[in-house]
Structure 1
């Protein structure tokens, strides 16, 4: 969110470069991302605080974050671009500081867009199979891999139960966004 705020506020070379580097992961296929993470974290190194991350719990959230960051960044930038900067100027003109203006004026106005982007990233991550299949361990089986394993072993009931969990989670996320939007759609 801070990077989206900076990029939408000022179009400088460094801000545009930061946006480019964040969205660069869209051009990398999921399998390439997973293989590179396996190569990078299959031995102890300083970036993993001296730990091996492959086969553990932490490699999947790292991969999902890299994969979902462009979606979040672009949704946050759309929310920031739709914000009226005159409100921010009025807050500053009335004596509020930068942090107070951001917390009380900017954030409440862009929060539905930020939460919508988060929802899209979560839904995208729930269905991500390639990264999940290459990076999961014994103790952290993602739901997309569990669904396919059950389906290929002809356990259709369990597969449908997993699908129902995903549908309920997505419905919950949608209802949260609709509540934050404060409009009545139904």
Structure 2
């Protein structure tokens, strides 16, 4: 049975949009396709998202927020900052590999969408580097890390590890030996942070 507009939520629209994007790709997916998948008029979708661009930006943000939310739990833990930082980067790498390997059609679609949504991507990167900075700041307070500016250190860590989370490197993530390279890089950057 088709849902009524009263039960139509932004979250349901975003879920349907992901499915439509997976099926048709970003070039061919339309708001009409999303509305059809939901059994509503395209006007009902536009009541929640004013434009196709707004809908695409929202679905991109939702996709990126999943990763940030999962990582925020590691930041909040009360344990050794070095272990948390290792776990945080490992979880980021695993999440990116999972997205690229388990659903390559949707991953390719989101590569296109993130290119269109630079503000959303910039906010996502700021969120992630803020999480790193919180761990570094805690490490400085506990005497584990030596960093005069945790925000600058966080940006440097994020950039130094880019090969293991920047989607442009996705093809390399399944190569033999990638885990050893990742571990070696983390050991190197953490050595540079230690007090």
- Tell me if TM exceeds 0.5: no
> Greater relative contact order: 1 or 2 (C-alpha under 8 angstroms, separation 6 or more)?
1
The TM tier, using the shorter chain, reads: 0.3 to 0.5
Q: What TM-score do the two structures reach when normalised by structure 2? A: 0.33
User: TM-score scaled to structure 1, two decimals?
Assistant: 0.35
